[in-house]
Chains A and B, each alone.
Chain A
Amino acid sequence: MNWIWFHKLGSPKWFFQWANKWSKFAFFIGVLLLTIGVVWGLGFAPADYQQGNSFRIIYIHVPTAILAQSCYLGLGVAGIVSLVWRMKMAPVFIKAVAPLGAVMALIALISGAIWGKPTWGAWWVWDARLTSVLILFLLYMGVIAIQNSLDDMQLADKAVAVISVVGLINLPIIKYSVEWWNTLHQPATFTITAKPAMPMEMWLPLLLSTLGMYGFIAGVAMWRMQAEVLVREHRANWVKKEVLDNGI
């Protein structure tokens, strides 16, 4: 297998130029798909036979919940890369993406509560799914807090890498919580093995808004990483040249 791209991405200079090219693309495609998906889902997709229109919050709830978990998976992988290969970009990724993941987890929790009140009859229940996602949010907050409270940057990078890796254990617990235990939260609608338990006119807008959310977060994450690279590499000649040539 060819690992050159992987090592190139580990170089701050190469990443900066690569992100210059792709961040806008990811961001605008993401915003476009997100807008189409959300407008379609909220305005035009059919209502549910049991829940009526209140089910439409799924078009916000599911994309943010998926992104909250995907961002954490990224954090965990970056944590391993950071601890094992000591690549410069891995801690930059963790620092840039942790707040984005935290916001996604928070929106998923809030939209879930708003959905829960009319359908279940409660804003919050201490069931395994809800609690494990709350723990995910708290893990993000822990990563952000430790990153910002340690003045020694290398020490902070190492500490958040360790938390990111350890927190990976929470991801399968979130995924399988609805199968391992009795929960109020329903099991997954989409599985790899079976057909989706909703018709296409419902899942297509959901797919678009989820892909759109990935693009949006990817774009914002690249910009945040670029900013962090400029701070960390401010002594490098290429940064000086970049700033003088193109401004910030």
Chain B
Amino acid sequence: MHPVRKKRLITISAILVIIGAAVGLMLYALQQNINLFYSPSQIAEGEAPDNVMLRVGGMVVENSVKRDSQTLAVQFEVTDFAHKVTIQYKGILPDLFREGQGIVAQGKLNQDNVLIAQEVLAKHDEKYMPPEIAEALDKAKQKTESN
């Protein structure tokens, strides 16, 4: 390679590495702020502040959803399979909300570590399949469980 070009290539590579390292350190330092939500374990370990708007994410625990028959109030638990957090919410839940589904709720923690949510968002995973296949899988699962 021509020496001038080689020098320019080295300069550009060096600039890229330096900026990359700077951005990397910045993102590392901001990691807690870039995470969209706290996990139930983080809340159980007291990492999340009280009385500040924050988000909690996790799976809705099976059979934990309790709806008020008169109002839109609903209470449920989310888990990361290590710890659980109770969430209270008043409003319309997204279509994808169901037991076993990942959700992210935004609100404030009270003294009992119950999240008083103002917004509940549903998270979905990266797997897609037609309804017939999902049904067939469910049936197969029930069959093996009953056996």
Could you list which residues of chain A lie within 8 angstroms of chain B, going by C-beta atoms? 46-51, 55, 58, 80, 83-85, 118-122, 125-128, 165-166, 168-169, 173, 180-184, 186-189, 197-199, 201-202
**CB-CB contacts below 8 Å: B117-135 with A:** 119-135
CB nearest to A79 among chain B residues: B12
A to B CB contacts below 8 Å, 18 in the list: A84-B12, A85-B5, A120-B94, A121-B121, A165-B15, A168-B16, A169-B20, A180-B27, A182-B39, A183-B36, A186-B123, A186-B125, A186-B126, A187-B125, A189-B126, A199-B129, A199-B130, A199-B133
B23 within 8 Å of A (CB atoms): yes
Docked pose: A181 CA to B20 CA in angstroms: 18
Interface size class of B (residues with CB under 8 A): 35 or more
Which residues in A have their C-beta under 8 angstroms from that of B39? 182
Docked pose: A186 CA to B122 CA in angstroms: 11
| A165/B12 contact (C-beta < 8 A), A118-B95, A119-B94, A120-B123 known | yes
Docked pose: A187 CA to B128 CA in angstroms: 12
Decide: B128 and A181 in contact? CB cutoff 8 A: no
Decide: B12 and A119 in contact? CB cutoff 8 A: no
Which residues in B have their C-beta under 8 angstroms from that of A49? 129-131, 133-135
Decide: B121 and A169 in contact? CB cutoff 8 A: no
Which residues in A have their C-beta under 8 angstroms from that of B124? 50-51, 119-120, 186
Q: What 16 additional pairs, Cβ within 8 angstroms, besides A122-B119, A189-B128?
A: A46-B130, A46-B131, A47-B131, A49-B133, A55-B128, A85-B5, A119-B95, A120-B124, A121-B93, A125-B121, A166-B15, A181-B35, A182-B39, A183-B36, A186-B126, A198-B129
Docked pose: A49 CA to B123 CA in angstroms: 15
Decide: A120 and B121 in contact? CB cutoff 8 A: yes
Decide: A47 and B36 in contact? CB cutoff 8 A: no
B96 within 8 Å of A (CB atoms): yes
How far, in Å, is B94 (CB) from chain A's closest CB?
3
How far, in Å, is A3 (CB) from chain B's closest CB?
11
Which residues in A have their C-beta under 8 angstroms from that of B129? 48-49, 198-199, 202
Which residues in B have their C-beta under 8 angstroms from that of A202? 128-130
| A169/B19 contact (C-beta < 8 A), A181-B31, A181-B34, A183-B36 known | yes
Residue of B96, B132, B134 near A119 (CB, 8 A) is: B96
Decide: B95 and A184 in contact? CB cutoff 8 A: no
Docked pose: A223 CA to B25 CA in angstroms: 41
| A197/B134 contact (C-beta < 8 A), A84-B5, A119-B96, A165-B12 known | no
